[in-house]
Amino acid sequence: MTDENEGAHGANDLGSWLTSMGAPESITDLMPSEITGLDLAPLIAMLGGVGVRSGVRNAGDSEQLADSIKWLPLDRS
């Protein structure tokens, strides 16, 4: 992970993150507050890992991914 990426963990919203990435603070004035206030969690999940995995699923994998598959209880008839 690069230094720039580490900066993302210190920001909770898009506006703060853009500023931490070196964008001028005035950039937030150019965007509606609902956009600058966007939660960064999905974006960080995108960069850090989305839980789509191939191969045999590993039931013992304790890693919690933001978008992991929810396996359903199954009735077989």
Partner 1 sequence: MWNRAPDVSPNLRIDCGVERRINSRTSPKFVSGFFETLVAPFGFSLPTQGLLGQLNLTQGVYDLISEHKRLQFASVTQLAQAVSDLDSLKIALLQMDSEEFAIWCGLGKNNSRDGLLTLIHEIDQALVRVREARVKVDFEEYRPGPKALVDSLTQLALTGVACDVKQIKKAWPQSGRKPLTPKWKSRIGSVRVCEGTGTLIEVSSMEYTFLVKWKGAARTRIDVGILRNHLVLDLGGVRRFLELPAACSRMESIKARVSLDSIEIDFMVNEKEWPRS
Which residues are at the interface with partner 1 (CB under 8 A)? Answer: 1-2, 4-5, 14, 21, 35, 38, 40, 42-43, 46-57, 65, 67-77
The Cβ of residue 8 has, within 10 Å, a number of other Cβ atoms equal to 19
Least distance between partner 1 and beta carbon 74 (Å): 5
Q: How far is 70 from 44, CA to CA, in rounded Å?
A: 20
Nearest to 36 by CA among 20, 48, 50, 51: 20
Least distance between partner 1 and beta carbon 2 (Å): 6
Q: How far is 38 from 50, CA to CA, in rounded Å?
A: 19
Least distance between partner 1 and beta carbon 1 (Å): 8
Q: Which is nearer to partner 1, 33 or 47 (CB)?
A: 47
